[in-house]
A and B are shown apart, each in its own frame.
Chain A
Amino acid sequence: MTEPLLVVEGLRVAFGRSRTEVLHGISFSMGPRERVGVIGESGSGKSVTALAIMGLLAENATVSGSVRLHGRELVGLRDRELAALRGDQMSMVFQEPMTALDPTMTVGRQVAEVLLLHQDLPRAAARQRVLEMLGEVGLADPVRVADSYPHALSGGQRQRCVLAMALINRPDLVICDEPTTALDVTVQARVLTLLDRELDAAEAACLFISHDLAIVSQVCSRVLVMLDGEIVEDGSVADIFNAPQHAYTRGLVATARLDQVEPGQRLPTVEDFYDRGSPSTGSPSTGSSSTGSPSTGSGTGAGGLGGRPTGSSSRGSPSTGAGTGSGTGTGLGSGPTVVS
């Protein structure tokens, strides 16, 4: 069995003096070249997870738990030690390509900066490598693009440049934080195809953050569903699509599959499936957490709409399965794992 590339265990992040916790001990692991999507609504903790892995959270964030890359613990590392890994072993693609590029530097200099930070190359060789990389990410005229400032490029071109920056050092892990959200649908599709190809070429694993299940399914083989700072479901794309276990995931899947809505019918919303305010009426939902703690849920949640499911939480506290109504609790099958 291959060693995991990234292991996140019991990762908690709290902010401020009041230690308001926004990540409640999430756990997951990724193998080399594996592509894992993270979906969830705004504020569910997706980006905080990414920034915690990169060690880029603000000083008022308290991080506990464990993040290991190639077995090396990253939580608690000094910024200088983390800087040596960032851009080299792990890199990040940001959501907004206009703001992710420095407006005062040419694109070529920005890509070269990432290269020269981690490799001892003569300027001419670095320039050559930058032009090759810009060509690899599908930019037709690399010389012109390299000598251009970001404002002179289109959104798609800028995002390709950001991808070039993230991939030029052939990192083992690329974290993409909603990289196509700011792009129109046509450009989005091209960038996703390109990302797919480049990740293959770089033999890199990818943690792909999005709020769009349909997009994640194009890039990733596995999906983590996040809700309120917890991973509530973890499974393959096919399982999540075909047999979502958590009520919230079912809502997400329903809203992503509008082709199944009959003409004239009201479009589904997540709230039709998952009601945050409702106490415990939930969907069938037993299963083991990704941390491996045994499930104690009895799977007696309602099979209907609404309510949080019961089951073991990612924090390891046993669920009492106090749901009411009828339903079947069969989370022990081969489907996705409900972890909360």
Chain B
Amino acid sequence: MRRAPLWVGGVLVGLVLLTALVSFVWTPYDAAAIVAPKLADPSLAHPLGTDHLGRDIVSRLMVGARATVVVGVVAVALAAGGGVPLGVLAGMLDGRFGAARWATWAGEGLMRGVDVLYAFPALLLAILLAAAVGASTTTAMVAIGVATIPAFARIARAATLTVMTQDFVLAARASGTSQAGTAVRHVLPNIAPVLGVQASVSFGIAILAEAGLSYLGLATPPPTPTWGRMLREGQNVLFGAPEQALWPGLAIGFAVLGLNLLGDGLRDLLDPRLREVA
């Protein structure tokens, strides 16, 4: 029971990933093709009915999952790839761990730069990028990824500061390990669990952000379906056919819920204090 969030989250996230993977090789219908009358009720041929143009909703949700997963994975990878080195570097450049004064200042400067980026809304960044290079999946990935860098940088720095106070880091330095060696061999493996939890939570946020950008038409362009655009298309017929918005809304909701539960479960699993209490 204690690990219920981990299991429920894992199953929900697993379903989304499986759906996205299957969509690469099989969907019931072509997601962009008109295959039945518009706004058809659910039937055996179309379990969730069709949309306002007569396209199969199940097929569109499956392909939408693909875009969601790709944007989430790439954005989180980009955020972690940028934020983790910045955070670890800033943490290790703390004067308490023997860094020179100028290096301490450089570390502080890095984190203030990260704070500036933190204050910059992802949506604004996406609008700027879309205006500059056009709305696309890549635009969404870059905007979400760059906007998430500060979260990773701050978490990585805080975790690094904690690890750097441990005796084994001092022991590594006393053995002649360089700062870079300490970062790669001792700090990164020890902060990895915290980063894993952050990645899980950021994935959920990225899915929401992607849906938001798609809703606004700033992400993947038509005809490729995304859950965000399906939501907006459903909004137009909300009173006549509310299920049109319900299906993508539920998909987004369950995916984000799954990732949040997975993040909570991972945190509980990796926190020794919680482990002892339970």
Contacts and interface: CB of A to CB of B under 8 A. Distances in A.
A92 B174 CA distance: 6
Contacts of B177: 83, 87, 113, 117
Interchain residue pairs A-B with the least CB separation, the first 9 = A59-B95, A87-B175, A87-B176, A104-B189, A99-B167, A92-B174, A86-B176, A114-B175, A102-B168
Interface residues of A, number: 32
25 contacts: A54-B174, A57-B98, A58-B95, A58-B97, A58-B98, A59-B96, A59-B97, A59-B98, A59-B101, A79-B179, A80-B178, A83-B173, A85-B176, A91-B175, A92-B171, A94-B167, A95-B167, A100-B167, A102-B172, A113-B172, A113-B177, A117-B176, A117-B177, A162-B171, A165-B175
A153 B218 CA distance: 55
A140 interface: no
Nearest to A57: B98
Interface string A94-134: 11100111111100000001100110000000000000000
A278 interface: no
Is the interface on chain B under 10, 10 to 19, 20 to 34, or 35 or more residues?
A: 20 to 34
Contacts of A162: 171
Nearest to A168: B175
Contacts, number: 85
A103 B192 CA distance: 13
A86 B174 contact: yes
Nearest to B177: A117
Nearest to B193: A104
Contact of A99 (B96, B166, B175, B186): B166
B185 interface: yes
A88 interface: yes
B168 A59 contact: no
B175 A105 contact: no
A117 B175 contact: yes
A149 to B, nearest CB: 11
Interface of B: 95-101, 104, 166-168, 170-179, 181, 185-186, 189-190, 192
Given A59-B99, A83-B176, A83-B178, A100 B171 contact: yes
Contacts of B168: 99-103
A150 B258 CA distance: 34
A91 B98 contact: no
A332 interface: no
A333 B118 CA distance: 70
Given A59-B96, A59-B98, A99-B167, A91 B178 contact: no
Given A59-B98, A92-B171, A118 B190 contact: no
B170 A105 contact: no
B264 to A, nearest CB: 23
A105 B178 CA distance: 17
Contacts of B97: 58-59
Contacts of A100: 167-168, 171
Nearest to B171: A100
Question: Which of B171, B174, B181: most chain A CB closer than 10 A?
Answer: B174
